[in-house]
Every structure is written in C-alpha cells, then in structure tokens.
Amino acid sequence: MFEFLNPGKKKKGQLGLKIIIVGCGKVGITLVERLSREGHDITIIDQEGTVVTEIANLYDVMGIMGNGASYSVQMEAGIDEADLIIAVTESDELNLLCCTIARRVGHCAAIARVRTPDYNIESDYLRDKLDLAMIINPELEASREAARILLLPSALEVNSFAHGQAEMIKFQVPEGNIMHGKTVSGLRKELRSEVLICAIERDGEVHIPDGEFIIHENDILSFVATREDTIGFFDHIGFKTNRVKNTMIIGGGKAAYYLASQLIKMGIGVKIIEIDKARCEKLSILLPKAIIINGDGTDQDLLEEEGIEYAESFVPLTGIDEENILLTLYARQVSQAKVITKINRINFKDVISNLDLGSVLYPRYITSEAIIAYVRAKTNSTSNNIETLYHMFDHRVEAIEFHVAEESEITNVPLKDLKLKKDMLLCFISRNEKIIIPGGHDRILKGDTVMVVTRDTGFNDIRDILE
C-alpha cells in the first residue's frame, strides 16, 4: 500500500537513486546541488550540525549529524536501502572506512575520495580489495585536465575513461592531411602507436568503422588512446598541437606533484616554486627531473629572476584562490605564457569569467562531473557493471565502460572467435592499470574493464555485445 511513498523499491527509470553523501565540504555541496537537481533521493551526513541544517534548508535533502563511518549513523541514513554512498570528507582514511563499512552493511555501490599520493599509487589495489565502485582524486583529475590543456589544443573534445588512463578524443581531419584516402587498418599498420578509431561522422552520418573504412578530409574522428599515444599520433599525422615545452608551477602541493609528474612523462620541462623547505626536498626526491626552487612564489622579484617572462606556460597551484588569480593576472601582463588558474573555493563565477585568467579549473566540478557520470550510468541501467556512459554525436552513439565481474561465455575466448554485433566496437581493455587496444587474439578476462562504442542503445551487460 505504501509502495508509492517508498522510493526505495524503484522501478527502472521511474525514480532517482538513493544516495548518501558523507562530508559536506566543497565537493559535497556541489554534489548535493547537482544530484538533487537530477531528482535523486539524497541524505547527507556531516559532523557539523550547522552545515547539515544549512544544506537541508537550501536543497531538498535529508540531513543527519554524526560520524559517517559509524554503523548506527549509517543505519539511520538508511544504508540498507541505499544505492550509492559517496564519502568526500576531509580525511582519506575516514572516507575509505565509511565505504568499507557501507559495503559490509548494505548492497550499495561506494565511491571514496582519496587524495594522498601514497594511497593514489595503490588506488586500483584499494578499489579492488575494498570493493569500491570508484576512487576519486580531485587533485589528480584537476592536474590531468591541466596537463590536457597544456598538451592538446583546446579545440578537441576529450572524455576520459578507465579512471583517466584512456581518453576518447574527437577532432576534424584537416584538409590535405596525410590520412586522406587511407583505410583504418592501413593507418593502424603505419602507426606504431596504439590508437583506435572508434567512430567517424561524415555528412551527418555516424559510422562505426571496420578495417576497410576509408578516411576522408573533414571527417570528424573519435579515437581512443592513452595520453602518450595521442601526442605521438598527432605528431605523426602532422596535426598541430601547439604544446608547450616548459612550465612554471607555483606551490608544491598534491596537485602540483600530479601535474608535474604527468608533464615530465611527456618530456616537458617543469619548474616548481615552493616556499616550504622540507616539502621542496621531498619533491626533489619524488620528481628528480624537475627543477625545484625554494622560495616564495608570490614574490615578484623571485618570479622575474626565475624567468617568468620566458615561461611558455604558467600554472599557479597555491592553496589560496586569490593568490592564484593575482599570479595569473601578473603572468598575463609580463609574459606570453599559456596560463591555467585553479579555483578551489570561491564562487563568484561571473566575476571570474570576466577576468583574463586563461583556462580556469574548478577541481570540485571536475570531481563531481566524474561522480555524476557514474550516477547517470547507474540510473540508466539495472546492472551494476556499467562504470561510465557517454553519449556522443547527439546521443547517436554510446560509449560504455563495463566492468567484467564474473566469468561468462565471453571471457577467456579470443575476440576473433566471438560473434560480435555489427555497428559495435571494442575500444580497449583495461587490465592492471594497462590499456590494451585489442586485436583478434586478445581475450577478455575476469576483472577487466572493457569499453564498447555502439550505435545500439540499451546495453546493460558486457554479454550484450554478442549477436
């Protein structure tokens, strides 16, 4: 009788998910705002009573005051009926504990925010052993985004998969390019890098190409590759990426570390200015190839001495937004550098967008984007095996990431022996943090993550790829 009152027993697509958010910091509030607008049932847990009351008054959510890692508090929040728990408190350990307890008590998926680099190296191991749906690291995501801006032209559309290890990049083939007139398989032989072209739009039609497909000028290509291979691919076809050769980073926090290590991997010179001596020493151990300067990055003389005028890119990553903004404005004035501004906390978006700040990064939006993509995938499907879902080319093509949780008729079989659907492409297999662009002899194993691009919609399980 009370079924219609109880959103817990949901029928597909009818009602939102039941989501518990632990921790109401910057990311927490952003998530509440976005997810409640999408119609999910949200319960928030925080230690601070005033924060909880304030959010519960502002948004259509229920608030509970208490320690999110405690069993009784989770029970009060209805963990036994929840679909998803997202732990985004200040402390990594608390987040992991929250999710671990939630996994034991309820049947919900769990997402934890983990920021410390120590854990980050092991994030896949943690995710697997603690049985979490996702581990998010805002600093890492933000620095990935920053690296993308520095490395790839902004005209490209980029979506990331497999927790950022593979990217799907969309670009238009320039006129007179060497790719014109080549088949997809021919191109692949020619390139040594692992790049998979997964969708081509021509004259308003979207094709999922096979090996015989011939590429033309002005086609809009979507391809999947790792970051390194993308750069190699663009170099090979002679596509101008305008990437920078050196960069200057102010502040040596976690985000700076993540950004620097990615840039160094791409062969870009990195200079970090950090005020704390001990941190400098640690960074110099972690990043042997980077130049670490111990000094106050907000000191104009020091910046000039270190040659801000000649820097090709400049990324202030101090913990204080106002400082970051001032530094960017200064760099704009004295140099030609590509600049990126990271805004952690402050809101005044209208004001910020009127300033000449180059590319502006909001880590909390990047983080919440990733979580929301997951939640959408979960809402759209009844299975728990979909990790991300993107609509491309105006919903005509779906890119879906499946987690292969158990053995089935598709595992351990060479791909060439599987009867796959037409208009569908296996883009990559992610195994033990490695991206495999599959050929006919590759197999899908239990525990892999597989990305599929398809023109059919409504894939719920990896087995749907079979005829």
Partner 1 sequence: MNSSIVRIIVGQVLKVEAALLLLPCMTALVYQERAGWYYLLTAAICLAVGFIFTLRKSKNDVFYLKEGCAATALSWIFLSIFGALPFYISGEIPSYIDALFETVSGFTTTGSSILSDVEVLSRTALFWRSFTHWVGGMGVLVFLLAIIPLSGGSNFNLMKAESPGPSVGKLVPKVAYTARILYTIYLGISILELVLLLLGGMTVYEALLTTFGTAGTGGFGFLNSSMASFSPYLQWVITIFMILFGVNFNAYYFILFKKAKKAFQMEEVRAYFLIILAAVAMITGDLVRTMDFSNALRTSAFQVGSIITTTGFSTADFNVWSQTSRTILVLLMFIGACAGSTGGGIKVSRILVLIKTMLKELNSFLHPKSIKKIKMDGKPIEHEVVRATNVFFCTYMMLFAISVLLISLEGHDLVTNFTAVAATFNNIGPGLELVGPAANFGFMNSFSKIVLIFDMLAGRLELFPLLILCHPVLWKEVISRKSKIVQSRNLDRKY
Contact residues toward partner 1 (CB under 8 A) are 2, 4-7, 18, 36-37, 41-43, 49, 53, 56-62, 349-350
Q: Residue 19: in which H helix or E strand, if any?
A: strand 18-22
Judged by CB, which is closer to partner 1: 65, or 415? 65
| Distances from the Cα of 380 to the Cα of 388, 389, 448, 459, angstroms | 11, 9, 22, 10
**For residues 398 and 455, what is the distance between their CA atoms, to the nearest angstrom?**
6
Judged by CB, which is closer to partner 1: 84, or 169? 84
CB of 69 to partner 1, least distance (A): 19
CB of 58 to partner 1, least distance (A): 5
**For residues 338 and 331, what is the distance between their CA atoms, to the nearest angstrom?**
9
CB of 275 to partner 1, least distance (A): 34
DSSP 420: B
CB of 71 to partner 1, least distance (A): 16
Nearest residue to 344 via CA among 360, 327, 357: 360
Q: Is 181 helix (H, G, I), strand (E, B) or coil?
A: coil
Judged by CB, which is closer to partner 1: 77, or 400? 77
Query: Which residue is listed with tokens 């909001």?
Result: 362
Judged by CB, which is closer to partner 1: 36, or 177? 36
Residues in CB range of 154: below 8 A, 6 or more apart: 359
| Cβ atoms 314, 337 nearer than 8 A | yes
Judged by CB, which is closer to partner 1: 4, or 13? 4
Judged by CB, which is closer to partner 1: 50, or 333? 50
CB of 337 to partner 1, least distance (A): 27
CB of 391 to partner 1, least distance (A): 20
Q: What share of the chain is helix, strand, coil (3-state, %, to 5)?
A: 35, 25, 40
Judged by CB, which is closer to partner 1: 333, or 354? 354
Residue type, 309: E
Helices (H), 154-276: 184-190, 227-237, 254-265
Q: Is 359 helix (H, G, I), strand (E, B) or coil?
A: strand
Q: How far apart are the first and last CA of the chain?
A: 42
CB of 171 to partner 1, least distance (A): 26
Pairing of strands 269-274, 386-392: unpaired
Query: Which residue is listed with tokens 């990126």?
Result: 340
CB of 180 to partner 1, least distance (A): 39
Judged by CB, which is closer to partner 1: 327, or 375? 375
Judged by CB, which is closer to partner 1: 61, or 263? 61
Residue type, 84: L
CB of 388 to partner 1, least distance (A): 23
Burial code of 44-81, b = ≥16 C-beta within 10 A, e = fewer?
bbbbeeebbeebbeebebebbbbbbbeeebbeebbbeb
**For residues 452 and 251, what is the distance between their CA atoms, to the nearest angstrom?**
40
Judged by CB, which is closer to partner 1: 61, or 339? 61
CB of 29 to partner 1, least distance (A): 12
Tokens coding 94: 């608390």
Residue type, 338: K
